[in-house]
C-alpha cells in the first residue's frame, strides 16, 4: 500500500440496496483508499449507480458506510454534503437557472441559512467554472446550452462544493474527446490535492486511467485492484464476457473489442 493512503476515504460493510422492491446490491464490502481515483466499471445493471447513490446516502440501504473514518449515518446532512459531493447522471437540470446560479448551488452546504454568498463562495464558483471551461457562459441559462456544455456546468457545480470525496456517475456523458481529456486533467489535479474521486465510467479505456478499478457484476463486487494489474485486466475481460481485450499502448492501457 502506498504511504499516506492507509485511511479509507469510503468504507462500506455489507451494503445492500433495493430498487423497486428488487435487491440490486447484495452486500458490498468496498474500501476506497484516500487520495486516489477509483473507477467503478461493470456491465449494464451491475448496480454501479446504485452503489454510488447508497454511498452518498441518496437511496435507502442497509449496512454501514464510513466516510473518512466517520459513520455516515451519524453525520449531519450538511456536514455530509460538505465532505462528499455527488454528480448524478440523467438528473433533470434547471433550464431557467443561469450557469453561475447552478454552480453557486454547490456552495449551499457552506452557506448559513439566508446568508449571502461569501467571498470564499464566489472564489470557489469562479474556480470551478474556469476549471471546466464554462466561465464564459456564466450569464447564460442552462437551457441554452448543449448536452456537453451542460455536463461541464454540472461538473463545475460538483467541483464548487470543494468536498474531500467526489462521486461522479458517468461524468463523461456527452463530452467530446478534448473535454474528456480535460476531465482527466481535472481529476488528476484533484487527486494531487489529496482528494478522493470515485467515478462510474462506461468507457473501459477511460476507466483504465484511474489508480484503482472496482469491478461490479450483478450487484456484487467482483474485483478491486490497481488498474495496471494483470489480475484486474483478467477480471475486466471476464466480466465483459471476453468481448474486450486490454492492451498496452505507449504508457497507457486500452480496451479494444475482440475481433
H or E, element range at 120: helix 119-131
Cβ count near 67 (within 10 Å) = 24
DSSP annotation of 20: T
Nearest distance, CB of residue 209 and another protein, angstroms: 25
Applying CB under 8 A, among 16, 18, 26, 101 the residue interacting with another protein is: 101
C-beta of residue 51 within 8 angstroms of C-beta of residue 15? yes
Identify the sign of the CA torsion 90, 97, 138, 80.
negative
Of the listed pieces 24-32, 116-124, 201-209, 225-233, which binds another protein according to CB under 8 A? 116-124
Of the listed pieces 97-105, 171-179, 191-199, 202-210, which binds another protein according to CB under 8 A? 97-105
- What's the burial of 18, exposed, middle or buried (CB within 10 Å: 0-12/13-18/19+)? middle
Applying CB under 8 A, among 139, 192, 241, 251 the residue interacting with another protein is: 139
Residue among 76 and 257 whose Cβ is closer to another protein = 76
Block residue for cell numbers 466561465: 135
Angle, helix 147-160 to helix 177-192, in steps of 10 degrees: 10
Instruction: For residue 96, state whether it binds another protein (rule: CB under 8 A).
Output: yes
C-beta of residue 119 within 8 angstroms of C-beta of residue 107? no
Extract the C-alpha cell encoding 141.
441559462
Instruction: For residue 18, state whether it binds another protein (rule: CB under 8 A).
Output: no
Instruction: For residue 195, state whether it binds another protein (rule: CB under 8 A).
Output: no
Q: Rounded to an integer, what distance in angstroms lies between the CA atom of residue 106 and that of residue 121?
A: 9
Strands annotated E in 128-204: 165-169, 196-200
Instruction: For residue 166, state whether it binds another protein (rule: CB under 8 A).
Output: no
Residue among 116 and 259 whose Cβ is closer to another protein = 116
Nearest distance, CB of residue 168 and another protein, angstroms: 12
Applying CB under 8 A, among 46, 84, 213, 246 the residue interacting with another protein is: 84
Number of residues counted as binding another protein (CB under 8 A): 45
Of the listed pieces 1-9, 65-73, 137-145, 218-226, which binds another protein according to CB under 8 A? 137-145
Interface ranges with another protein (CB under 8 A): 53, 56-58, 76-82, 84-86, 88, 91-98, 100-102, 105-106, 108-109, 113-114, 117, 119, 122-123, 126, 138-139, 141, 143-144, 154, 157, 161
Amino acid at each position: 500500500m502506498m504511504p499516506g493512503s492507509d485511511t479509507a476515504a469510503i468504507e462500506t460493510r455489507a451494503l445492500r440496496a433495493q430498487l423497486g422492491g428488487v435487491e440490486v446490491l447484495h452486500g458490498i464490502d468496498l474500501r476506497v483508499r484516500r487520495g486516489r481515483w477509483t473507477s467503478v466499471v461493470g456491465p449494464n445493471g451491475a448496480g454501479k449507480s446504485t452503489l454510488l447513490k447508497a454511498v452518498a446516502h441518496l437511496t435507502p440501504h442497509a449496512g454501514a458506510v464510513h466516510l473518512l473514518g466517520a459513520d455516515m449515518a451519524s453525520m449531519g446532512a450538511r456536514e455530509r454534503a460538505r465532505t462528499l459531493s455527488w454528480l448524478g447522471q440523467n438528473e433533470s437540470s434547471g433550464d431557467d437557472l443561469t450557469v453561475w446560479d447552478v454552480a453557486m448551488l454547490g456552495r449551499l452546504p457552506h452557506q448559513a441559512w439566508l446568508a449571502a454568498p461569501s467571498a470564499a463562495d464566489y472564489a470557489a464558483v469562479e474556480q470551478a467554472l474556469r476549471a471546466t471551461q464554462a466561465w464564459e457562459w456564466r450569464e447564460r441559462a442552462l437551457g441554452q446550452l448543449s448536452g456537453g456544455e451542460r455536463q461541464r456546468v454540472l461538473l463545475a457545480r460538483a467541483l464548487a462544493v470543494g468536498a474531500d470525496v467526489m462521486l461522479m456517475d458517468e461524468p463523461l456523458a456527452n463530452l467530446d474527446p478534448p473535454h474528456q481529456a480535460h476531465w482527466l486533467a481535472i481529476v488528476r489535479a484533484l487527486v494531487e490535492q489529496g482528494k478522493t474521486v470515485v467515478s462510474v465510467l462506461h468507457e473501459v479505456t477511460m476507466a483504465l486511467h484511474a489508480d484503482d478499478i472496482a469491478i461490479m457484476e450483478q450487484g456484487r463486487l467482483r474485483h478491486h485492484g490497481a488498474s495496471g494489474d494483470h489480475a484486474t485486466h483478467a477480471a475486466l475481460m471476464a466480466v465483459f464476457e471476453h468481448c474486450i481485450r486490454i492492451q498496452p499502448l505507449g504508457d497507457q492501457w486500452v480496451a479494444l473489442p475482440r475481433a
